Amino acid sequence: MSVYKDEKTGKWYALAWYHDWKGEGRQKCKRGFETKKEAQDWERSYVQQNAAGIDMTFDAFCGLYEKDRRPRLKESTWLTKENIIKNRLIPTFGKMMMSEIETKHVIAWQNELLAYRDEFKKPYSATYLKTVHNQLVAILNHAVRHYGLKSNPASNC
């Protein structure tokens, strides 16, 4: 762990080494953490995201997905995707490791969405459900194509 306390300020900072997309070694420093645990959490998360491995949480991978996809999309398109990711996908899959997501998890999540009723007893529309599912498929396809996920568990549903 590369976490240190700055004696002048009394705050913690973290140093993380990673390899960029060209394979060159780089160092990232982030300062100003109140606790050692915050600095360690940031370092762990940063290394996971930049290692581009699939042993990271769905939430962390969504940050990587945003870096990869957002520059290629119109702002309004990204805002729609971001809303679905934050409100529908991360609450269910956020803390799960990417490699641990299975078809049974996707089916259980779909069943929750199908069972939902608003204050007027109306369910989500079929179009909205398809849009939300397509976003999950897109994120997992990105992981399959570019980051070594073996298969997309959402494409089997």
- Do residues 149 and 108 share a domain? yes
pLDDT of 124 reads 95
- Do residues 111 and 130 share a domain? yes
CATH number of the domain enclosing 137: 1.10.150.130
- Do residues 34 and 99 share a domain? no
Write out the chain's pLDDT in tens, 157 residues.
589 999 999 999 999 887 665 567 778 899 999 999 999 988 888 777 665 457 788 998 999 999 999 999 999 999 999 999 999 999 999 999 888 899 999 999 999 999 999 999 999 999 999 999 999 999 999 999 988 888 899 987 7
- Considering 36, 51, 66, which residue would you say is the last residue of a domain? 51
Q: Where are the alpha helices (DSSP H) in 31-125?
A: 36-51, 58-69, 75-84, 90-93, 103-115
pLDDT of 68 reads 94
Domain count, the chain: 2
pLDDT of 95 reads 93
Integer-rounded Cα radius of gyration of the chain: 19
Note down the domain range covering 128.
Answer: 58-156
pLDDT of 42 reads 87
Helix (H) or strand (E) holding 13: strand 12-19
- Do residues 116 and 137 share a domain? yes
pLDDT of 156 reads 76
- Do residues 81 and 24 share a domain? no
